[in-house]
Chain A
Amino acid sequence: KAGVTQTPRYLIKTRGQQVTLSCSPISGHRSVSWYQQTPGQGLQFLFEYFSETQRNKGNFPGRFSGRQFSNSRSEMNVSTLELGDSALYLCASSWGQGLSTGELFFGEGSRLTVL
């Protein structure tokens, strides 16, 4: 079956703009979580959605938001972009809620560059 799909794969924005990233989970998976990956900080948890509800949230400012649709697809939005938001944004899906329920399946990521 198809893996986790993230779009777009690459994008360039300027400071102050906003961006929306999309994630399509593996069919049947109801949980989607988002991570920011940078060389200095590694993987940092943004938020997790399960059945269209945000279940967990990491320590990021309110400029970072997300949502999940009834078909489990998820989007994350970053408003008022800052240079420090440049990163690889990873989406992961799993069948149940939370990391402890089992394996996370990751997408290839969306590489955001903020100029």
Chain B
Amino acid sequence: AQRVTQPEKLLSVFKGAPVELKCNYSYSGSPELFWYVQYSRQRLQLLLRHISRESIKGFTADLNKGETSFHLKKPFAQEEDSAMYYCAPTYSGGGADGLTFGKGTHLIIQP
């Protein structure tokens, strides 16, 4: 079965430090990958998708097909980045595996 792994349930870094939230997937095809974010008391929302190759709120994510990873990175963390982050690879073949989220990483930025 297709799977997605976010190895860190909790990640705490200091303001201004670099941040990397890890995401590994096991998909046999060519997945499309997304990162979703949930700030405190807000709805879950899309942060970025890999095909757009854009930087959102200073975050970038590169798809590494060789390592089957899609890590989310930001060079200088800010306190407002504290949130729950979910990696969501999707398989173009659809099916139940086509709508799978990782278990999430709770990012805490300390002042």
Contacts and interface: CB of A to CB of B under 8 A. Distances in A.
A56, A59, A100, A106: most-surrounded residue (chain B CB, <10 A): A100
B86, B91, B95, B96: most-surrounded residue (chain A CB, <10 A): B96
B45 interface: yes
B99 A98 contact: yes
Interface string B73-109: 0000000000000101011101110111111100000
Interface of A: 3, 33, 35, 41-45, 48, 55-59, 90, 92, 97-100, 103-108
Contact of A55 (B88, B92, B94, B100): B94
Interface residues of B, number: 23
Contact of B88 (A44, A59, A99, A105): A99
B11 interface: no
B8 interface: no
A45 to B, nearest CB: 4
A3 B99 contact: no
Given A41-B103, A42-B104, A43-B104, A98 B94 contact: yes
23 contacts: A3-B43, A42-B101, A42-B103, A42-B104, A43-B44, A43-B104, A44-B101, A45-B96, A45-B99, A45-B100, A56-B94, A56-B96, A90-B44, A92-B44, A97-B94, A98-B90, A98-B99, A99-B88, A99-B98, A100-B92, A103-B46, A106-B45, A108-B43
